[in-house]
Structure 1
Amino acid sequence: MKIKGLHHMSAITADAKKNLDFYTNILGMRLVKKTVNQDSPSMYHLFYADEKGNPGTDVTFFEIPRAGKTYEGTNSISATSLRVPNDQALEYWKSRFEEFHVLYEDIREQAGRLVLPFQDFEGQRLLLISDEHNTGVAGGVPWSQSPVPSEYGIIGLGPSRFTVQNVDETTALLTDILGFKEKDRYVSETKGQPNIIIYETGEGGTGAEIHLEHRADLPKERPGRGSVHHIALRVEDEEELNEFIHKLNDNGIPNSQYVDRYYFHSVYLKDPNGLTIEIATDGPGFDTDEELEHLGESLALPPFLENRREEIESRLEPL
């Protein structure tokens, strides 16, 4: 029973059209699934990933048009990183961000790797991380039709940062229940704060890390547009997922029980600091209901929503 690494990240946008433009035309990711929030089908759920939508490469967004401003703070998933092949790619991205007027910070070193922090148009906290010296979980393959040259393209989801008030309880969840192990520590960018702890799982590397930051000096984050809703972790199949569900139940950890998301199967749980964590299977995959070469071109609905297609489409503004 093993968490293989990161599966996907899901965040909030107030503008699906601008979101689509940023993540496909500027970041060069592929829209691999245009669907709806299965729990609230009046809102879009957009999935961006590598050429095939491989698990571990997905960044997803729920559109909530009236979502307010995010007030940053603790008890949050405070940063999401995206993997690029090497250090040289960061120089390319720095020039690209200049061209497209994307807010970014200087390239810097973080735990032996180079990173390039930046924000999307809603203040989503992101950073590109170089895989120059990475070992561990393999990255994906950039889409051949991306506006970004493949040698610099985004190849997957990198370390996610958890910022919490009660670090001991989150540590216990990560290590005792989910099987992560402490790998390293690095100095916080905020003076006077404790070192940030790197936890890894599976084969390790940039595709299998959570970075844990302890911040008792901040108010709790008030989420809105530009905030992260949840992070999902990978398991191989339903058998492994069900074993984790049993483990959560045996340890009294509140969870959603088994959820069929059609493209993968999941369980959702709450971290003691209120963060939402999903455990998701690698399959069946995004080509379950669309041919690989046509992923994301039409509105895809899981079978249980198909009989409501006309109603759902009437409520969505075409992208």
Structure 2
Amino acid sequence: MKLKGIHHVSAITASAAENYMFYTKVMGMRLVKKSVNQDDVSVYHLYYGDQKGTPGTALTFFEFPETSKNREGVSSISLISFRVKDDKSLEYFAKRFDEFGVWHEDIADRAGRKTLYFKDPEGQRLMLVSDDGALSETFIPWELSSIPQEHQVMGLGPVRLTVKDPEETLCVLMEIMGYRLRGSYKAEVEGQKDIIVLETGDGGSGTEVHLEIRSDLPFERQGYGGVHHVAFRVEDEAELREWIDRIDSNHIRNSGFVERFYFKSLYFREPNGILFELATDGPGFDTDEELEFLGEGLSLPPYLENKREYIEKVLKPLDTRIRRS
């Protein structure tokens, strides 16, 4: 029983329309599912990824129009990263960001890899990571992307957690979840401890968690530009139920089995309060839509179909149809 890496990350936006424009037009990612927050059907839940939303490529956003801006701090997921093929892809995006007026830093080394740190229009903290020419076996390029295939986002890279007290978080990650120490690198803030790098499964940037220890920050207050939770890849439902038993046996409060239709899940908070999810690789985002038209209509799981009329009435229209030549 072994976690395979990062499954998806779910963040917060105040505007689904502006969010859609940035991640599809600037980042070249595909909207693979336009749905609703299953716990609050009055707001959108948007899923971006590769051609079919392969596990490990999905970044999702809950739309909360009335939320305030995220206030950065500890007990948070403080950085989302994306894998790109190589250093040339970083250079491509740096130029593209300049063209679109996207704030970014210079290309820099982090944890032994070339990286490009940037922010989306809402201040979401993001980073591109060069895979140094490695090709993801699971990545499926999107033919209609605004980005050339050789430079497209291949999937999620390391996720950074920021905490004040790392010991119990490390205990959960390593002793319960099976993560192992890969190394460390210099903190980006003077006077703080080195950032700890952990990996799972077969290793590689798509499996990593980077643990940042900060003694100089208050607790984060989530809002737009912040991250809601991170999900880790589990093979299938049978293995997920084994993980539920493992979490229960360690007396960690959790959601129990949750049906999300596109995958099955378990939710729990690690000791510093960061929300973790374990999610199965299947059945996937193409279970209720044809692959060619993913994300173009409003998708609802079967157990919400009886509320479709109400949901469509309360949602602000969002046109995500692809103009095909």
- Shorter-chain TM range is over 0.9
**Which residue pairs with 1:220 in the alignment?**
219
Hey, what's the Cα distance between the residues in 2 that align with 1:278 and 1:46? 17
Hey, what's the Cα distance between the residues in 2 that align with 1:128 and 1:207? 12
Question: SS of the residue aligned with 1:257?
Answer: coil
**Which residue pairs with 2:322 in the alignment?**
none
Matches within 5 A, 1:65-214: 65-132=65-132, 138=137, 140-214=139-213
Post-superposition offset of 1:139:
5.2
Post-superposition offset of 1:248:
0.5
Q: Percent identity between the aligned chains?
A: 56
Matches within 5 A, 1:234-253: 234-253=233-252
Post-superposition offset of 1:166:
1.4
Question: SS of the residue aligned with 1:308?
Answer: helix
Contact kept in structure 2, 1:55 and 1:234, CA below 8 Å: yes
Post-superposition offset of 1:162:
0.3
Hey, what's the Cα distance between the residues in 2 that align with 1:283 and 1:216? 39
Question: SS of the residue aligned with 2:299?
Answer: coil
Q: Which amino acid aligns with 1:171?
A: L
| Cα displacement string for residues 75-119 of structure 1 (whole angstroms, at most 9, x for unaligned residues) | 100000001000000000000000000010010001110000000
**Which residue pairs with 2:37 in the alignment?**
37
Contact kept in structure 2, 1:84 and 1:155, CA below 8 Å: yes
Q: Which amino acid aligns with 2:243?
A: F
Post-superposition offset of 1:141:
2.4
Q: Which amino acid aligns with 1:11?
A: A
Hey, what's the Cα distance between the residues in 2 that align with 1:138 and 1:273? 34
Hey, what's the Cα distance between the residues in 2 that align with 1:272 and 1:202? 23
TM-score (ref. length: structure 2): 0.96
Q: Which amino acid aligns with 2:94?
A: K
Hey, what's the Cα distance between the residues in 2 that align with 1:203 and 1:230? 23
**Which residue pairs with 1:313 in the alignment?**
312
RMSD of Structure 2 on Structure 1 (CA): 1.0
Contact kept in structure 2, 1:29 and 1:142, CA below 8 Å: no
**Which residue pairs with 1:230 in the alignment?**
229
TM-score (ref. length: structure 1): 0.98
Contact kept in structure 1, 2:85 and 2:134, CA below 8 Å: no
**Which residue pairs with 1:288 in the alignment?**
287
Hey, what's the Cα distance between the residues in 2 that align with 1:216 and 1:241? 35
Hey, what's the Cα distance between the residues in 2 that align with 1:174 and 1:216? 21
Contact kept in structure 2, 1:264 and 1:284, CA below 8 Å: yes
Hey, what's the Cα distance between the residues in 2 that align with 1:182 and 1:133? 24
Hey, what's the Cα distance between the residues in 2 that align with 1:118 and 1:55? 24
Ranges in structure 1 where 5+ consecutive residues have no aligned partner: none
Hey, what's the Cα distance between the residues in 2 that align with 1:92 and 1:67? 33
| Cα displacement string for residues 191-241 of structure 1 (whole angstroms, at most 9, x for unaligned residues) | 111110110000110110000011122111111000000000001001110
Ranges in structure 2 where 5+ consecutive residues have no aligned partner: 319-325
